[in-house]
Structure 1
Amino acid sequence: MDRVVNVGFESFVVKDRILAVLPVESSAVRRLKQLGMETGKIVNLTFGKRTKAILITNSGHVIFSFLPPKRIIEKLFRN
């Protein structure tokens, strides 16, 4: 179970696939979000809650999470 990280509501992502964890406030992240929608590579794991972090994977998928970026980073580097 230490190869995956819980990004909310028992949804898991393989740690080795994550390239970046970004806050949603910047305009660059908003453009990434739009690009993901256009290419069909969005995975929305917010389950209706406000998006607080976006994860970029090595496959080009853009994953939305309701958890704040700091919390996801803590989970990624927890032993």
Structure 2
Amino acid sequence: MSIKMINIGFGNIVSANRIIAVISPESAPVKRIISEARDKGLLIDATYGRKTRAVIVTDSCHVILSAIQPETVANRFNPDTEGMEEQ
């Protein structure tokens, strides 16, 4: 089993094998997840002070905030599909 790393912006890298979900931060339930992770000490802010555009949930219950779009993070899982048109 090889370890695949995903760039989540500004030189921050996460193991793709540990990611459960990449979601948008706008909804109330996601904001609640972020707040609970902050209270438990499981929040990792990788935005460098910029607006949060993606929330990454890992299998270790850590929540990672990223300043790049969820679609961009998802596309980095399969770089071969980047730029391909739907048929």
Report the TM range for the smaller structure's normalisation. Answer: over 0.9
| Structure 1 letter corresponding to 2:69 | P
Measure the CA separation in 2 of the matches of 1:17 and 1:42. 15
1:43 is aligned to 44
- Distance apart, 1:76 and its partner CA: 1.5
Alignment of 1:7 onto 2:14: no
Say which one has the larger Rg.
Answer: 2
Alignment of 1:1-79 (within 5 A): 3-79=4-80
Unmatched 5+ stretches in structure 1 = none
Percentage identity across paired residues of the two chains: 31
- Distance apart, 1:17 and its partner CA: 0.3
| Structure 1 letter corresponding to 2:34 | K
SS of equivalent residue, structure 1 residue 7 = strand
SS of equivalent residue, structure 2 residue 39 = helix
How many positions carry a matched residue from both structures? Answer: 78
- Tell me the TM-score normalised to structure 1 length: 0.94
Q: Could you say what the CA RMSD is over the residues aligned between the two structures, in angstroms? A: 1.1
Extract structure 1 runs of 4+ deviating beyond 2 A. none
- Distance apart, 1:77 and its partner CA: 2.2
Unmatched 5+ stretches in structure 2 = 81-87
Measure the CA separation in 1 of the matches of 2:48 and 2:71. 20
Measure the CA separation in 1 of the matches of 2:24 and 2:76. 16
Q: What are the Cα deviations for residues 18-74 of structure 1, in whole angstroms up to 9, with x where unaligned?
A: 000000111110010011011100110000100000000000000000001010000
